[in-house]
Amino acid sequence: MIFSKKNLSFISIAFFTLGYTFCKAQQNSQSSRKSVHAATIGYQNLDYKIKQWQNDLNVPNVGVVIIDKGKVVKAQVFGYDRNGRPAPQDMLFEVASVTKVVFTTLVLKFVNEGKWDLDEPLFHYYTDPDVASNPYSKELTTRQVLSQQSGFDNWRWMNASGKLTFNFKPGTKFNYSGEGFEYLKAAIENKFHESLAKLSDSLLFRLRHD
């Protein structure tokens, strides 16, 4: 989990990359009217295919957003909720580690704007009490966390002690770790004095109308 120590749920943002299909439809069109008509047919066929995939793969519900040339042209939730009712369009989904993609995008945006350094040790902003006495805590960087080389297990409870532990020197091996991302999350929140949810909302999710 990235945005909360607890399980995170937020409005589904399930992106299907369908550019090729709709580009072909547009290439075969001779006018803007025909192009729109072709895209409409494509979307209708997509609805059918999604329902078919759900049935074949036993997927109860899924949220789909299609963005074409920077504009949202389709946003729909398919399926049913746990009570068997049609899934609402504002349905909440637990997306777990999919949030790592969003979080990484936010971090790299800060880096691009010169507000964050990939190679600055994170202890300048945060040190977990469990590893405060370990010299590796003075070496851990954002680059190591984002590349899954933090040295941590996925979660601290996986260790016999139940505490966060460096299993190897950061940057020397690969090991998938949610703890590493939580560590970086804490450092960023301390640096900017804002929750990750608010930082993401203001920098990534809110549409700008410049």
Supply 96's token pair: 């777990």
3-state SS class at 69:
coil
Rg (C-alpha) for the chain, rounded Å, is 21
pLDDT tens for each residue of 126-155: 999 999 999 999 999 999 999 999 999 999
Q: How far is Cα of residue 160 from the mean position of the Cα atoms in its chain?
A: 30
**Residue 67, CA distances (Å) to 12, 19, 37, 74 in order:** 14, 9, 17, 7
Backbone dihedral region of 69: left (phi > 0), alpha (psi from -120 to 50 degrees) or beta?
left
Q: What is the pLDDT of residues 63-122, one digit of tens each?
A: 988 888 888 888 999 999 989 999 999 898 888 898 999 999 999 999 999 999 999 999
What tens digit of pLDDT does each residue of 15-66 get?
A: 333 333 333 434 444 444 444 444 555 667 888 899 999 999 999 999 988 8
Q: Is 209 exposed, middle or buried (0-12, 13-18, 19+ CB in 10 A)?
A: exposed
